[in-house]
Amino acid sequence: MLPSAATWRRRAPGLALTATVAALAVLANRAVPVVSALLVAIVAGAVLRNARLLPAAAEAGVRYSARTVLRLGVVLLGLQLSVPQVLGLGWGAIAVIVLTVAVTWAVTLLAGRWLGVPPGLRLLLATGTAVCGASAVAAMSAVLGERAPGEEDEDVEDSAATAVAAVTVFGTLAMLLLPALAGAAGLDDHAAGVWLGASVHEVGQVVAAGGLMGSAALATAVVAKLGRVVLLAPLVAGVGYARRRRVRAAVEHLVAVDSASVVTGVPPTGAPHVRPPLVPGFVVGFLVLVAVRSLAPVPAEVLGAVQLASTLLLTAAMVALGAGVNVRVLLRRGGPAMLLGLVASVVAAVVSLAGVLALVR
């Protein structure tokens, strides 16, 4: 059922606000490429919220941007992905990509537990660093919306904003440092491109980093980066399946306890929670567009327009996520989260470089 005209009227002010700020952030990035549009958008949203500059009339549209607009941006990201192009990198490069994603994700989860980072936040940081930055954070946050009974209470939007800020900051640092390190390590264009694509977080950051090394390295870096993005869907589906099983087990336990309470007189412990979907609908949409790009020719004009639309949608969503940030909470727990983001970024860079030296050169 489509939203009513009244619903759209309520959302319009917030959508216009996030779209305007997003456009300004993208223009700032075009003028100064080292300035991340996503980071600008998050900071702007946080300033609007915490300085109490966000009008009450914008709330509905901002919430819509933080969820639906964000997911639409992830869907459109799928049209940038061509599986045959990724396979063309060679099996050595593909092995580096898979190894980097797997090791970075696992080590970040373990390090996050040791640092005391909340479970949802460390999962989002692990996914954002291992796969594709803010887009991966957005995709994984979709399976964190429902919790099993007794699971730790955690604000998903707050965690997502913190994770996006961390991966954006350290992705920007990687974008600036790794091209120089690749040259110092004597990597050729192909090896350097694989390293950049396997370790730098955002697609836009990979483009900027590859551009610093020349067109050949840039082309390889972008394809390698998109190879990481391919792994987004199975990773989200796997986590979604695991959470679904955990929620189902918890609900079945509650049902058994509540049934027993009828006999014992002990009050019921609560109503069953709704189980999260195995694969979020927008991830299915992402896969459909990956299939379209991989199996059929897509005009360059269409690709350019969709890429711009995806960038604007994701940036608008970052404004909305930033508007959900409580600065006091962020300052209180931001230290461990930022340290975990640094650890994850170093792991991604070191593992991928080792893989390149062993399998690509």
pTM above the 0.85 mark? no
The rounded distance, in Å, linking the Cα atoms of 285 and 287 is 5
Whether residue 329 has pLDDT greater than 80: no
The rounded distance, in Å, linking the Cα atoms of 188 and 360 is 10
* pLDDT averaged over every residue in the chain: 85
Whether residue 279 has pLDDT greater than 70: no
Q: Do 198 and 228 contact (CB within 8 A), yes or no?
A: yes
Q: Do 229 and 203 contact (CB within 8 A), yes or no?
A: yes
The mean pLDDT of 313-335, rounded to a whole number, is 80
Given pLDDT bands bounded at 50, 70 and 90, which one contains residue 125?
very high
Q: What is the pLDDT of residue 21?
A: 95
The mean pLDDT of 207-232, rounded to a whole number, is 89
> Which structure tokens are listed for 102?
């797997």
Q: Which residues contact 281 (CB under 8 A, 6 or more apart)?
A: none
Q: What is the pLDDT of residue 152?
A: 57
Q: What is the pLDDT of residue 88?
A: 92
The rounded distance, in Å, linking the Cα atoms of 308 and 149 is 41
Q: Which residue has the tokens 């390190």?
A: 181
pLDDT digits (tens, 9 = 90+) for 126-169: 999 999 888 888 888 877 765 544 455 667 777 888 898 889 88
Given pLDDT bands bounded at 50, 70 and 90, which one contains residue 264?
low
Q: Is 328 exposed, middle or buried (0-12, 13-18, 19+ CB in 10 A)?
A: exposed
> Domain spans of the chain?
83-298+335-359
The rounded distance, in Å, linking the Cα atoms of 144 and 170 is 24
Q: What is the pLDDT of residue 107?
A: 97
**Higher local confidence (pLDDT), 130 or 237:** 130
Whether residue 101 has pLDDT greater than 90: yes
Q: What is the pLDDT of residue 277?
A: 54
pLDDT digits (tens, 9 = 90+) for 65-96: 888 898 898 889 888 888 898 899 999 999 99
| End-to-end CA, the chain | 54
Given pLDDT bands bounded at 50, 70 and 90, which one contains residue 112?
very high
Q: What is the pLDDT of residue 24?
A: 95
Given pLDDT bands bounded at 50, 70 and 90, which one contains residue 269?
very low
Show the DSSP H helices in 213-299 as ranges: 215-230, 232-264, 281-295
Range scoring the smallest mean pLDDT among 20-29, 111-120, 315-324: 315-324
Given pLDDT bands bounded at 50, 70 and 90, which one contains residue 270?
very low
Q: Which residues contact 273 (CB under 8 A, 6 or more apart)?
A: 146, 147, 148, 149, 247, 250, 251
b/e for 77-93, b at 16 or more Cβ within 10 A? bbbbbbeebbeebeebb
Positive or negative torsion for Cα 124, 129, 132, 135: positive
Q: What is the pLDDT of residue 357?
A: 94
Q: Which H, E and C letters describe 313-339, residue by residue?
A: HHHHHHHHHHHCCCHHHHHHHHHHHHH
Side-chain half-sphere CA neighbours of 178 within 13 A:
34
Q: What is the pLDDT of residue 251?
A: 57
Whether residue 359 has pLDDT greater than 90: yes
pLDDT digits (tens, 9 = 90+) for 29-58: 889 887 788 888 988 998 998 888 999 999
Q: Which residues contact 142 (CB under 8 A, 6 or more apart)?
A: 71, 236, 280, 282, 283
Q: Do 334 and 159 contact (CB within 8 A), yes or no?
A: no
